[in-house]
Amino acid sequence: MTDRISSVTRGGLVLDVYDEGPIDGDVVVLLHGFPERADCWRLVAPLLHEAGCRTLAMDQRGYSPRARPRRRRDYQMSELLGDARALAEAAGGRVHVVGHDWGAIPSWLLAIHHPELVASLTAVSVPHPQAFLASMVRSTQGLKSWYMLAFQVPFLPERLGRSRGGFLDRQLRAAGMTAEDVDRFRARIVDDGALTTALNWYRAMPFGDPRLSRGRVTVPTTMVWSDHDIALGRWGVEHTVRYVDAPYRFVELNGVSHWIPTQAPDALADAILDRVRSVGPGAA
């Protein structure tokens, strides 16, 4: 396709898309996590462009200003998958999908349920959904994920989040986020009115069909994880290979925190490009 994509509309919601790089390059879809927006890819995307790739970085539901429904159920996994599918279809399908943190979940689901749209998958930080669920009871992951339960409490996380230098800011710093990126979080999420709708990704977890997260991946896949990630442990990523029936690579980044796209952009870009090139030129 030769037209730039500035947004994707689905169910009355308008999701902003940042379409950059060579218009005729292999398409790489970039899906961000919590609590960031599409600009978390600002250091990775130019490296992909230099290699000839076109990137589509989307502000996902809850973050994009025209896509912030208030109900928790509007953020269940089927809706996240639907948004990712809509972007892949708008790009003509056979896209290379990259997702970090929460963005890895719709990426995994798209590869599981719509492999015809996915040329390759690079999951960053978050393992296959089934491996993650297993890790909650077979490792220390349940303890690492304490915040998921805390975020279910109404109003309190928002109150803590609105306090500059308060609890949420300190937790983000403890997780390895730089002071500059905490300031970006405050401007792009808190001050822009997206904190509650971003938290709704967690609050929607009790809704929806858990069977959606089951299934095997049949597209070439790379799992990227960093050993200083305090939110995601080793067990889930090491067992992800059990759920992939395709060429698979595990990339471990040493000395890097959870925020891989901004703290190890060169290594992440290399992993993405290795996976894209493994599929062959023009696959997207």
Is the link from the previous residue into 106 a cis peptide, with omega within 30 of 0?
Answer: no
Is the Cβ–Cβ distance between 123 and 155 less than 8 Å?
no
208 token code pair? 């929806």
Is the Cβ–Cβ distance between 120 and 106 less than 8 Å?
no
Evaluate if pTM is beyond 0.75: yes
Per-residue pLDDT of 193-240, as tens digits, reads: 999 999 999 999 999 888 999 999 999 999 999 999 999 999 999 999
User: What pLDDT is attached to residue 127?
Assistant: 98
Q: Spell out the alpha helix ranges (H) of the chain.
A: 45-50, 77-90, 104-113, 129-138, 141-144, 146-150, 156-161, 167-174, 179-185, 195-203, 234-238, 260-263, 265-279
Burial 20-42 (b: 16+ CB within 10 A, else e): bbeeebbbbbbbbbbbbbbbbbe
**Closest by alpha carbon to 266, among 60, 27, 44?**
44
Per-residue pLDDT of 168-193, as tens digits, reads: 999 999 999 999 999 999 999 999 99
- How is residue 217 annotated by DSSP? B
State which CATH number among 3.40.440.10, 3.40.50.2300, 3.90.650.10, 3.40.50.1820 fits the domain covering 7-279.
3.40.50.1820
User: What pLDDT is attached to residue 2?
Assistant: 65
Query: Which residues of the chain have a pLDDT value below 50?
Result: 283-284
Domains of the chain: which residue ranges? Answer: 7-279
Angle between helices 104-113 and 77-90 (to 10 degrees): 70
